[in-house]
Amino acid sequence: MAPVAALGYDDCGKLDERLAVLRFEKSGAREQEMTYAYASAFVRMALELGQRGDIPEDRARSMAIGVAGQFELALRQKDIIGEWTPAVAGTANALYYGKEMWVGGFRWENIPGWKLRIKTSKNRAAAGFDLTNYPLLFPLMEAVPHDRRAGAILSGEHGLPVRERSYRKWFRAIARAAEIPDEIWSMDRGAATEADEAGADFKAISDMLTHAEPRTTVRYIRLRASEKRIADAARARVKSRPREGDEAS
C-alpha cells in the first residue's frame, strides 16, 4: 500500500510520521483485586440467585465455579472459560458449532480423579492441580450431577461453553447483587497477594502463576501486600529503638 503522503494527503502523512516515533507509557499494575471475601461472597450470591430462580441454576453453578476456579487456581479468565474462535477444521479437542469452534482446557475430560491437567494460555506452560485441595472450588465441582460432567465445565446459552461477553455480563450482575465494587473485574485474580500475605515462598507463587519471569509475579502481588510489608517494617523499626529512659542509663 502506498504511503498516505504519496497519495497527496500531506496532513495524514505528517500524522503518520509522528505516530511512528511516539511511545506510549505502559500503565502500572491495577491496585484492585479479587479477594477471598469477594470470591466467597460471589459464590454464595450466585448459588442463592439460582436457588431462588432469579437466574438459571446452570448459570448460577457455572459462574460460581468460574470465579472460584480463577481465584483458587490462580488461572486467567481465558483458561477457565476457554475461547470461541472461527472454526478451523482438524483442531484437536475443539467443539464445533456452525462456523465457530470452542477450545479450552477447563473441561471434565481433563480432571480424572479430580486432578486437573491444563496448559495455560499465558505461555502454554503445563500446570497440574489436585482440586480436592481447594475448599472454595471443590464442593462446587463435586455437586455437579454426573450426567453433566462432559465437555466444558462452564456452560452458557443453550448448554454450550460460555462466551466471554456473557461471562462478563453475568459476573457484573451477580457481583453487584453481592455488593462487590464495580472496580473488581471478572478477570481479576488475587491468589498471588493472598499467598504472599500467608508467607508462601516467592518462587512457589511464581510457579503457581506459571510465570517465566519473576518481575511478572511482582506485578500480581498488589499494593495490599506491599502495605503490609511496610507496616511490618515500621513496627520492626519501633521495636528496635531504645526504650524511654534507656539512653540516660
What's the CATH code of the domain at 118?
A: 1.10.443.10
In a domain, residue 16? The reply is no
Rounded Cα distance, 229 and 104, in Å:
38
**Same domain, yes or no: 61 and 158:** yes
**Same domain, yes or no: 50 and 146:** yes
Cell numbers found for residue 5 = 503522503
- Output the pLDDT for position 141: 96
Domain ranges, residue 53: 36-81+109-188
**Same domain, yes or no: 116 and 184:** yes
Q: What's the pTM?
A: 0.69
In a domain, residue 138? The reply is yes
**Same domain, yes or no: 146 and 221:** no
Rounded Cα distance, 7 and 29, in Å:
42
**Same domain, yes or no: 227 and 126:** no
pLDDT digits (tens, 9 = 90+) for 180-223: 999 987 765 555 565 566 566 666 656 666 555 666 666 666 54
Residue 151 neighbours by CB under 8 Å, 6+ apart: 95, 107, 108, 109, 161
**Same domain, yes or no: 44 and 162:** yes
With b for 16 or more beta-carbon neighbours within 10 A and e for fewer, the 214-248 pattern comes to eeebbebbbebbeeeeeeeeeeeeeeeeeeeeeee
In a domain, residue 135? The reply is yes
- Output the pLDDT for position 193: 62
Q: Select from 172, 188, 204 the last residue of a domain.
A: 188
**Same domain, yes or no: 177 and 201:** no
- Output the pLDDT for position 242: 80
- Output the pLDDT for position 13: 61
**Same domain, yes or no: 75 and 180:** yes
In a domain, residue 66? The reply is yes
**Same domain, yes or no: 117 and 224:** no
**Same domain, yes or no: 66 and 149:** yes
Rounded Cα distance, 116 and 99, in Å:
29
- Output the pLDDT for position 27: 47
In a domain, residue 248? The reply is no
Q: Select from 188, 213, 229 the last residue of a domain.
A: 188
**Same domain, yes or no: 54 and 147:** yes
* Number of domains forming the structure of the chain: 2
In a domain, residue 20? The reply is no
In a domain, residue 14? The reply is no
Name residues of the chain where pLDDT drops below 50.
1, 4, 24, 27-30, 223, 249
**Same domain, yes or no: 128 and 183:** yes
